[in-house]
A and B are shown apart, each in its own frame.
Chain A
Amino acid sequence: MRKLLFESLIRPPLTERPPQASDAAVDELARALDGIARKRLGRSLSIRAVDAGSCNGCELEMHALNNAFYDIERFGFRFVASPRHADVLLVTGPVTKNMREALKRTWDATPNPKWVVALGGCAKDGGCFAGSYAVVGGVSDVVPVDLHIPGCPPPPIEILKGLIALLEGASGTAGASLD
């Protein structure tokens, strides 16, 4: 283990860092977030992930945000274990009828101010599962949605971009719609 830790010390970090001008996506995010996030939320935004019926694809990309390349926590975003600790609910999936109640209760348990981000094509309108006897539809059919991030699943970089858009749009009022 010592060898591995030592190597990690001398190897350059994998995290894709701000200052390069081209391929600026991650860099822009870092700069944009730095200003806005600090102003509004003291540099932190707690996210509670809620799978309301997804195929698990969106969750995989959410996980990727935590890896060394994206390292979402450097922006002040943090995944938390309870809706009671959360500012943002990041909801995936078409909302299934069997999850409708659980999603509502999770939203109720989240303190104000709170935002809801619907992640992925299914969360928008049910996607390819719309119309099923077992599916309610998109997330906005159950709880108010502030932002939708498209993709099947959205790549991690798109999720990051979306979270910034949320911060820019949420000018002090919870529940403002960006769509």
Chain B
Amino acid sequence: MPALADLIEAGRPIEQLAPWRRAVVAPKTWNLAVEQLAAGRWSLLGLWGEPDKVHMALLDETQDVSVISLDCRGGRYSSVGQQHPPALRLERAAADLFGLAPQGLPDTRRWLDHGQWGVSHPLAARPAKPAAESSYRFLTAEGESLHQIPVGPVHAGIIEPGHFRFTASGETVVRLEERLGYVHKGIEGLMAGAPLDRAAGLAGRTSGDSTVAYSLAFARAVEAALGVAVPPRAIWLRALMAELERLANHLGDIGAICNDAAFALMHAHCGVLRERVLRAADAAFGHRLMRDRVVPGGVAGDLGEAGASAIRSLVAEIRQRFPHLVELYDNTASLQDRTVATGRLKVELARQYAAGGYVGRASGRDFDARRNLAYAPYDQLAFDVPVLQEGDVNARVWIRVREVEESLSLVEQILGRLPGGPIHTDVAAAENTADGPREGMALVEGFRGDILVWLRLGEGGLIERCHLRDPSWFQWPLLEAAIEGNIVADFPLCNKSFNCSYSGHDL
């Protein structure tokens, strides 16, 4: 059984990628990697295109991360998705954007391109004329008295747009098919040629609920590419913001999940705690969502004594109130009746799709980028990564409950050990790219799962190409599997327990 490192040795290494390795490999080696994925030995962390090139980020059993690349003249290469389904939508997206032509791709329908852009393959070397508009062929389900329920893109709640096509037999969902791409803003296209500050702003607006995590992943990828060491205080402040973001999202979503089971009491109380987190973040960092506070080279503002004490009293309040809410959740039979055994995601599927975050961890996938890849300062902090096997809505709630507790502890540890010193260093992008382009990659654990950012900086320190992979790419398809056999009325509950990002996915 090959190790990822062997594959990299066999290829033509690209020296500039930091901190991991990338190699341009021959089709034979590429196929060998696909076999490892299909056999379930390795995990797919991402797949993205460039004109006449396709890249794959892989994770092997030793937690080694590498990128392999394939030159494909004319965009033709052997489809990964035909052997490893998690790659399917990524390949469809890369085909839409770059005009790549994966051979043998089982699903050739366009994914992000809805025929509205006025152009085809907008990021290819030579964009093409728009393809003739054609209606989207939804997958079929056949059987007696099946009916379809189309939902979206404009939904009933205050949520992002996407289309769900249910085929139901009475109340039972036989098939759910998602159609996404409605909020595709062309972020990767806007990134190309952008200076760092503009690109950092775009990265922080990829998925609003994960603005800290995205800004952090982008900043770390830039710093890795340029070989810049960030001041210790900035590293710790970033982690503080990341944990506050995790707390806000988990608290809000635990309440919202219960609300989708018509248990408004929990929603009201969790909403109060979420608001407290946002207000503390505002007091400490000057913005409720902490947008644009993590920047390449460090952080945009320092934490003062007033901010630190706002966060301390926040932690004290959550520690006092949250256990009562957990008890409430645990002791309300009517609520448990809705969440237990609902929307069950099988352990095998979570593993196959390398599902990140609480979706993966509620279904037995013991992965957390903070621990497995141990980026600073998490290598110096003590925390547990909760894992459950049940994979139902209830398990996903419990993972989030446990993660709230862990994040509280992390916030306390960080505040207690926050080093002094400067909070920013100049990344000197132009000087550091004078000898040629530099590549960097980062994986950051957002509240939803691991976010991957890969980028190449070129002349003048401008972005040549930047790819941002949201954890939702590997979670959305699993929602289709988890809902099967459940009743239509439980879909909001299942959907909220996954809480995949539309904007992060659609880019």
Task: Give A contacts to B, CB under 8 Å.
Answer: 1, 3-5, 14, 49-64, 66-69, 79, 81-83, 93-94, 96-102, 106, 128-129, 131-135, 152-153, 155
User: Does A67 lie within 8 Å of B185, measured CB to CB?
Assistant: no
User: Does A60 lie within 8 Å of B161, measured CB to CB?
Assistant: no
User: Does B271 lie within 8 Å of A66, measured CB to CB?
Assistant: yes
B208 interfacial contact with A, CB 8 Å: yes
Some 19 contacts from A to B, beta carbons below 8 A apart, are: A4-B269, A5-B265, A49-B157, A54-B503, A55-B208, A55-B211, A56-B160, A57-B289, A59-B159, A62-B158, A67-B275, A97-B114, A106-B154, A128-B201, A129-B185, A132-B187, A133-B189, A134-B184, A135-B186
Q: Which residue of B lies closest to A57 (CB)?
A: B208
Q: Please indicate which of the listed interface residues A67, A83, A129 has the most CB atoms of chain B within 10 Å of its own CB.
A: A67
- A95–B502 alpha-carbon span in the complex (Å): 15
Which of A54, A63, A106, A133 makes the CB contact (< 8 A) with B117?
A: A133
- B203-214 interface bits toward A, Cβ cutoff 8 Å, 1 = contact, 0 = none: 001111101000
User: Does B161 lie within 8 Å of A102, measured CB to CB?
Assistant: yes
CB of A69, distance to nearest CB on chain B (Å): 5
User: Does B207 lie within 8 Å of A51, measured CB to CB?
Assistant: no
- A67–B118 alpha-carbon span in the complex (Å): 42
Q: A98-B183, A99-B153 are in contact. Are A128 and B198 (CB under 8 A)?
A: yes
B332 interfacial contact with A, CB 8 Å: yes
- A66–B255 alpha-carbon span in the complex (Å): 13
Q: Which residue of A lies closest to B201 (CB)?
A: A128
User: Does A81 lie within 8 Å of B157, measured CB to CB?
Assistant: yes
With a cutoff of 8 Å between Cβ atoms, the chain B residues found around residue A53 in the complex are 161, 182-183, 185
User: Does A155 lie within 8 Å of B288, measured CB to CB?
Assistant: yes
Given A1-B332, A59-B160, 9 more A-B residue pairs with CB atoms under 8 Å apart are A51-B154, A55-B208, A57-B289, A68-B268, A69-B275, A102-B153, A102-B154, A102-B161, A128-B190
CB of B401, distance to nearest CB on chain A (Å): 16
CB of A101, distance to nearest CB on chain B (Å): 8
- A133–B278 alpha-carbon span in the complex (Å): 34
- A3–B268 alpha-carbon span in the complex (Å): 16
- A82–B154 alpha-carbon span in the complex (Å): 9
User: Does B181 lie within 8 Å of A98, measured CB to CB?
Assistant: yes
User: Does A129 lie within 8 Å of B183, measured CB to CB?
Assistant: no
- A97–B112 alpha-carbon span in the complex (Å): 11
| Chain A at the B interface: SS class | mixed
B331 interfacial contact with A, CB 8 Å: yes
User: Does A57 lie within 8 Å of B291, measured CB to CB?
Assistant: yes
With a cutoff of 8 Å between Cβ atoms, the chain A residues found around residue B186 in the complex are 129, 132-135
Q: Which residue of B lies closest to A53 (CB)?
A: B183
User: Does B122 lie within 8 Å of A133, measured CB to CB?
Assistant: yes
- B226-237 interface bits toward A, Cβ cutoff 8 Å, 1 = contact, 0 = none: 000000000000
With a cutoff of 8 Å between Cβ atoms, the chain A residues found around residue B268 in the complex are 67-68
B461 interfacial contact with A, CB 8 Å: no
- A55–B271 alpha-carbon span in the complex (Å): 21
User: Does A79 lie within 8 Å of B183, measured CB to CB?
Assistant: no
Q: Which residue of A lies closest to B331 (CB)?
A: A1
With a cutoff of 8 Å between Cβ atoms, the chain A residues found around residue B289 in the complex are 57, 60, 153
Q: Please indicate which of the listed interface residues B158, B211, B268, B502 has the most CB atoms of chain A within 10 Å of its own CB.
A: B158
B252 interfacial contact with A, CB 8 Å: yes
Q: A4-B265, A128-B202, A129-B185 are in contact. Are A99 and B161 (CB under 8 A)?
A: yes
CB of B147, distance to nearest CB on chain A (Å): 21
Q: Which residue of B lies closest to A135 (CB)?
A: B185
B140 interfacial contact with A, CB 8 Å: no
Q: Which residue of A lies closest to B501 (CB)?
A: A56
- A153–B291 alpha-carbon span in the complex (Å): 9
Q: Which of B96-135 contact A (CB under 8 A)?
A: 114, 116-119, 122
- A144–B350 alpha-carbon span in the complex (Å): 45
- B166-205 interface bits toward A, Cβ cutoff 8 Å, 1 = contact, 0 = none: 0000000000000001111111011000000010011001
- A55–B205 alpha-carbon span in the complex (Å): 6
CB of B300, distance to nearest CB on chain A (Å): 14
CB of A64, distance to nearest CB on chain B (Å): 6
CB of B263, distance to nearest CB on chain A (Å): 10
